């Protein structure tokens, strides 16, 4: 089942902070975050694994609440380059290993 | 390291035809996944191949098929094309698989069915 992302869209000024949420109805093994700019491929930002392990970029932070099956991506001191659509992808704890992506959050950073 | 390469970048086909898309993963990556991206449905999982075996499959009709070669390169085939198959098809590779390692996406193949 597709995870639910919120908000669907957000507009910021440079330097402001944003939080994007991802919620699933199933038990999760991992949560991935990707950013896609218009006309480009999605780019990996962060992966959070059950048990607390994280892999990702230094300037991006995220949390994973295993009990609530929720993840949040924190964008601090946003820059113009942060604009794009952010997708979370979730993988369940069962035998199915595929990533199911949310519908995306469109982030626009204005000067 | 070279990134994920998808060919061709653009394709225009007619309803009823078939099409083959190609994906060369990052060297050393054994897992290749395919996604269909449309404005209405977002990123939808097609299938994943790992060491030449299909490991996972999404909810797409049998007209969508794929394979992976011994060098990890992958192809996706769509037969009897329908208008609704128009989409951006993305290929992604990873060292171990989708669940616990980052996906590296190619730039995609834009398929238009007329």
Whose CA is closest to B91, among B62, B49, B54, B61? B49
Confidence class for position B89, pLDDT limits 50, 70, 90: very high
Confidence class for position A58, pLDDT limits 50, 70, 90: low
The pLDDT, as a whole number, for residue B85 is 97
pLDDT at residue B37 is higher than 70: yes
Report the gap between the CA of B102 and the closest CA in chain A (Å).
6
Interface of A with B in 18-57 (CB under 8 A): 29-30, 32, 34, 40-44, 47, 49, 55
What pLDDT, in 10s, does the model give residues B56-66?
899 999 999 99
Task: Identify which of B35, B43, B99 has the shortest CB distance to residue A97.
Answer: B99
CB of B108 within 8 Å of a chain A CB? The answer is yes
Mean pLDDT score, A2-14: 96
DSSP line for A28-54: EEEEEEEEE-TTS--EEEEEEETTS-E
Report the 3 state secondary structure along chain B.
CCCCEEECCEEEECCCCCEEEEEECCCCCCEEEEEEEECCCEEEEEEEEECCEEEEECCCCCCEEEEECCCCCEEEEECCCCHHHCEEEEEEEECCCCCCCCCEECCCEEEEEC
The pLDDT, as a whole number, for residue B40 is 83
The pLDDT, as a whole number, for residue A54 is 74
What pLDDT, in 10s, does the model give residues B92-106?
999 877 677 889 999
The reply to whether residue B103 touches residue A32, judged by beta carbons under 8 angstroms, is yes
Task: Identify which of B43, B55, B100 has the shortest CB distance to residue A87.
Answer: B43
């Amino acid at each position: 089942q597709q995870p639910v992302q919120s908000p669907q869209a957000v507009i910021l000024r440079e330097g402001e902070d944003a939080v994007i949420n991802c919620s699933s109805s199933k038990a999760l093994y991992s949560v991935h975050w990707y950013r896609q700019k218009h006309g480009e491929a999605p780019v990996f930002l962060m992966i959070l694994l059950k048990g607390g392990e994280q892999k990702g970029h230094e300037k991006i932070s995220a949390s994973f609440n295993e009990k609530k099956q929720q993840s949040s991506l924190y964008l601090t001191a946003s820059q113009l380059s942060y604009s794009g659509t952010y997708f979370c992808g979730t993988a369940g704890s069962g035998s199915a290993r595929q990533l199911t992506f949310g519908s995306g959050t469109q982030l626009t950073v204005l000067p | 390291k070279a990134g994920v390469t998808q060919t061709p970048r653009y394709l225009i086909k007619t309803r009823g035809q078939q099409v083959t898309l190609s994906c060369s993963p990052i060297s050393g990556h054994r897992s290749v996944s395919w996604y269909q991206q449309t404005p209405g449905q977002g990123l939808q999982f097609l299938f994943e191949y790992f060491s030449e075996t299909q490991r996972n499959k999404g909810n797409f009709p049998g007209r969508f098929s794929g394979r992976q070669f011994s060098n990890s390169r992958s192809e996706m085939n769509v037969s009897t094309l329908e208008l609704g198959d128009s989409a951006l098809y993305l290929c992604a590779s990873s060292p171990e698989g989708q669940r616990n390692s980052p996906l590296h996406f190619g730039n995609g193949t834009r398929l238009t069915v007329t």
